[in-house]
Amino acid sequence: MKDFINKLYKNHSLIYKGLLFIATTFLIVYLFPKGGKFKYDFEKGKPWQSENLYAPFDFAIIKMDAEIASEKDELVKKSILYFNLDNTIEAKVKASYKNQFNNVFSDSISRGAYRKLYNAGEVIISNLYLFGILSENYNFPDEKAIVILDGRVKKQDGFFSNLIKPDAVSKVIDNVLNKYELMHYKTEFTSLFFDLIEPNLTFNKSFTDKVLQEEIGKIAYARGSIEKETLIVSKGEVIDGEKYQVLKSLQSEYESQVWNESNYIWVLFAYTLLVALALLMLLLFLRKYRMRVFENNTKVTFIFFNVSLVIFITTLVVNYDSKYIYVVPICILPLVFKAFFDARLGLFAHVLTVLLIGFIVPNSYEYMFLQIIAGIVTILTVSELYKRANLFISVGQITLIYIIAYFAFFVIHEGSVKTIKWETFMWFILSGLATLFVQPLIYAYEKLFGLVSDVSLLELSDTNSKLLKELSDKAPGTFHHSLNVANLAEASANEIGANAMLVRVGALYHDIGKMENPTYFTENQSTGINPHDELSSRESARIITDHVINGIEIARKNNLPDRVIDFIRTHHGTSIVYYFYMQEKKDFKEVDKLDFSYPGPKPFSKETAILMMCDSIEAASKSLKDPTSTKIDAFVESIINKQIEEGQFLNANITFKEIESIKKVLKYKLANIYHLRIEYPE
């Protein structure tokens, strides 16, 4: 049991990666659409590339969206409006009219005129309530069919033009009075009916909508059918509108039949295999080419988290409305990976992520082509992300590539630009603007995952920072030495394409451990007194080598990132404090080199190797007497060749060609530093 627990402990990092791999795989599969994939790819207006296709089973031809939309519009146009009738209003108005008529018209009117006026009023009421008076001015077409409901019973039907609107009552009164030649009584009748007339019809919107929805629900979504073994399309035949619709119907039916209870597990298993294969390629890439990233569980988690996050966001957008798919800023992914790792890893992870998203999005080939090209452009154009202008320029280039590629695809599919969807270009612009969110996102990731980007390195390179000011105060000679090393290292990194910002920051902080005992280092001895004179060679060597350990402790207290601490740990590698070692050998024949060696480790990257070379060259160059070009060349060759012989660069991915380039830069820089000027006359 104890051995088993020990094995688990020794392999806990691999076990964690395995669990992370499994969890990410199942999460992505869960996000995938629950449907099979049609095995043929086809496009409207393009020839059928596969063999002759026969119907594998009976299926219905699904109507096109435009057809269904047209049928729905037709039903809406022909839909009936339903109005509720209050059957008490007309009788109430007639009774009130009988009572109020005598109050308006005096007894002095002749009996014949009185009767004529009374009959005209009755005709007005009859005309107004023949169909009814609306409670408000509804805005419907006059030709719209209507049904008047008395309770739940249909009383009569007609057209909307038959109904009297509230603002049309006076017009009905005028028509009747004009017919009876009683227009000179208009004022009296208007005054009379103004108080009497009440609307008796109200629009029953809920019932109208319910009937309309029932009619829409009766729409058939299929027209005709295809029998099994019927030839659908021949090889080389152009896929026109009708054949395209038949193929889309077959695709839909096929995918719905594939994803059923009997083979649900098999389709799920197949998806899992494909996702697992893609994620496995990502892990193998890290193990083969980015071992330091692979060994860091936090960084592996960060990579898998970002891949899953992009797929998750894309799935949400597709489920909401697939036309917004290009709004998702996929290019943030390579930007983030390039900021924290390198371009090669960023592009590799981006391509794998786009391949996985291809299972989710419509027109997957077009989508993958656009996103992969955009990812390549992102990697090629975005450099020095901490410079704000670079990000804006790169986002503009990415957006332009999207627009050009989409335009080309549309012309290929449709054969013209007349029906191009200009709104899609707006989605690309929005995607470009969303890509600018990468700056705050990188900051958030730095805090969440403890990673370091070039933006943070730029902040750390400020010599007015608290820690560097403390170094300047306590050990001014060391601070000046660090500045010189930083300049040499930055120039060397630029020469071989290494991370110049990282190596500069590493150089500025590599000797902060000397603040513990600054006077024990010659660059800080301004009084001419050397405290090493009072110590044994072993004690002196221990103080010198301890500045590495002290530097690491100070760096951790000040929350410097691990990428910077790596420079403190490795800038002397496992080299020997040669001066005190030789002093000890004068007194003792048997001397253990380990007592005079730095703890290491050796440099394990181009940047840390560059710092070791530049640190040794800058420190030793102070001992050069009467420097000449020949002396400087021999001096640089001697120091770096000695480091190579000691195997200090065996763990760093740096080539001999790059080392020679660095030598060339260092020789040039030292020649400028020690350039002798002419003597000016006094």
Q: Note the pLDDT tens digit of each residue in 170-202.
A: 888 888 888 877 787 777 777 777 778 888 888
Q: What pLDDT, in 10s, does the model give residues 8-47?
A: 667 778 889 999 999 999 999 888 766 556 666 666 766 7
Helix, strand, coil percent values for the chain (each to nearest 5): 65, 5, 30
What is the 3 state secondary structure string of 352-414? HHHHHHCCCCCCHHHHHHHHHHHHHHHHHHCCCCCCHHHHHHHHHHHHHHHHHHHHHHHHHHH
Q: For residues 492 and 468, what is the distance between their CA atoms, to the nearest angstrom?
A: 23
Q: Name the nearest CA neighbour of 120 among 191, 171, 166, 189.
A: 189
Q: pLDDT-based confidence at 277, cuts 50/70/90?
A: very high
* Residue bearing tokens 């083979």: 263
Question: Residue 293: helix, strand or coil by DSSP?
Answer: helix
Query: Which CATH code for domain 454-673?
Result: 1.10.3210
Contact partners, residue 251, CB within 8 Å, separation at least 6: 38, 40
Q: For residues 497 and 662, what is the distance between their CA atoms, to the nearest angstrom?
A: 11
Kindly state the tokens that stand for 50: 């596969």
Please determine, for residue 496, whether its predicted confidence score (pLDDT) is greater than 80.
yes
Q: What pLDDT, in 10s, does the model give residues 103-158?
A: 777 666 777 777 887 888 888 888 888 888 888 888 888 888 888 888 778 888 88
Kindly state the tokens that stand for 281: 């390629």
Kindly state the tokens that stand for 350: 């981006």
- Greater pLDDT, 624 or 210: 210
The DSSP output letter for 168 is: G
Q: What pLDDT, in 10s, does the model give residues 631-678?
A: 888 989 999 999 999 999 999 889 999 999 999 999 998 888 776 444
Q: For residues 538 and 595, what is the distance between their CA atoms, to the nearest angstrom?
A: 7
pTM exceeding 0.95: no
- Greater pLDDT, 420 or 470: 470
Q: What pLDDT, in 10s, does the model give residues 471-495?
A: 999 999 999 999 999 999 999 999 9
Kindly state the tokens that stand for 474: 């306590």
> What Cα–Cα distance (Å) separates residue 398 from each residue in 66, 408, 410, 439?
34, 16, 18, 16
Answer for the pair 604, 640: CB distance below 8 angstroms, yes or no: no
* Residue bearing tokens 């017009």: 171
What does the pLDDT average to over 235-246?
A: 75
The DSSP output letter for 316 is: H
Kindly state the tokens that stand for 266: 């098999």
Contact partners, residue 333, CB within 8 Å, separation at least 6: 306, 307, 310, 346, 349, 350, 353, 375
Instruction: Tell me the torsion sign for CA atoms 333, 338, 341, 347.
Output: positive
Q: What pLDDT, in 10s, does the model give residues 320-363?
A: 877 788 888 888 899 889 888 888 999 999 999 999 998 888 77
A 10 A CB-CB count for 398 gives 24
Q: For residues 384 and 393, what is the distance between their CA atoms, to the nearest angstrom?
A: 12
Q: Name the nearest CA neighbour of 491 among 675, 663, 676.
A: 663
* Residue bearing tokens 């012989």: 645
- Greater pLDDT, 275 or 418: 275
Rounded mean pLDDT of the chain?
A: 83
Q: How confident is the model at residue 194, as a pLDDT? A: 77
Beta strand ranges found along 151-278 (DSSP E): 153-159, 201-203, 222-226, 231-233
Question: Residue 464: helix, strand or coil by DSSP?
Answer: coil
Q: How confident is the model at residue 101, as a pLDDT? A: 77
Answer for the pair 449, 302: CB distance below 8 angstroms, yes or no: yes
What does the pLDDT average to over 377-382?
A: 80
Q: How confident is the model at residue 495, as a pLDDT? A: 93
Give percent of the chain with pLDDT exceeding 90: 24
Q: pLDDT-based confidence at 265, cuts 50/70/90?
A: confident
Kindly state the tokens that stand for 515: 């603040």
For the chain, the domains span 2-27+264-443, 37-63+220-258, 74-216, 454-673
Please determine, for residue 588, whether its predicted confidence score (pLDDT) is greater than 60.
yes
Element (H, E) at 54: strand 53-54
What does the pLDDT average to over 364-392?
A: 78
Q: How confident is the model at residue 386, as a pLDDT? A: 61
